[in-house]
Chains A and B, each alone.
Chain A
Amino acid sequence: DQQVKQNSPSLSVQEGRISILNCDYTNSMFDYFLWYKKYPAEGPTFLISISSIKDKNEDGRFTVFLNKSAKHLSLHIVPSQPGDSAVYFCAASYSGNTPLVFGKGTRLSVIA
């Protein structure tokens, strides 16, 4: 049973436009959420995170939004660049530094 779901396996966006990647979770105990980025033949790398006490966290071109009532989070990339093309994983954990639970990933293609 998937506790973290990324329902879009892939997404294509034009360079300069906004990319929006979505993630849903089922476990209400989760209170810390992360996005990882993965290039081919490399390990996932941490991108941005958000605690459940916030509803938004911004870092440069990347913003994560959290809607706790809907158990939904999203990653916005503005403006999208070709180098952003990668697989993006949503992950969640709960207090006590428990292991991260990952979604299956969304492959983002940014077209020049």
Chain B
Amino acid sequence: TQLLEQSPQFLSIQEGENLTVYCNSSSVFSSLQWYRQEPGEGPVLLVTVVTGGEVKKLKRLTFQFGDARKDSSLHITAAQPGDTGLYLCAGGKGNMLTFGGGTRLMVKP
């Protein structure tokens, strides 16, 4: 059983569309991180959020940490084929990370 549930598990969209990926938990985390993983590679850290309600932007990507620090969302504006990959959220407690099951995104040209 995953402590962090990501939805949707799979998403296939056309270039230019917007999308949101959700990461939900019943546990409170001290930090929440988002990673992106491409086939044959390890996850690459995109962002860390630590404060409830915090919003961070990374170009076309917007990350939000829930007020209660139990959930997070990733919004991508005007998706591009280069955004294709596996998006993973990970909750931090102390020095440990718990990963969600991932959202596999495919952006078609």
The answer to whether A and B belong to the same complex is no
A residues near B (Cβ < 8 Å) are none
B residues near A (Cβ < 8 Å) are none
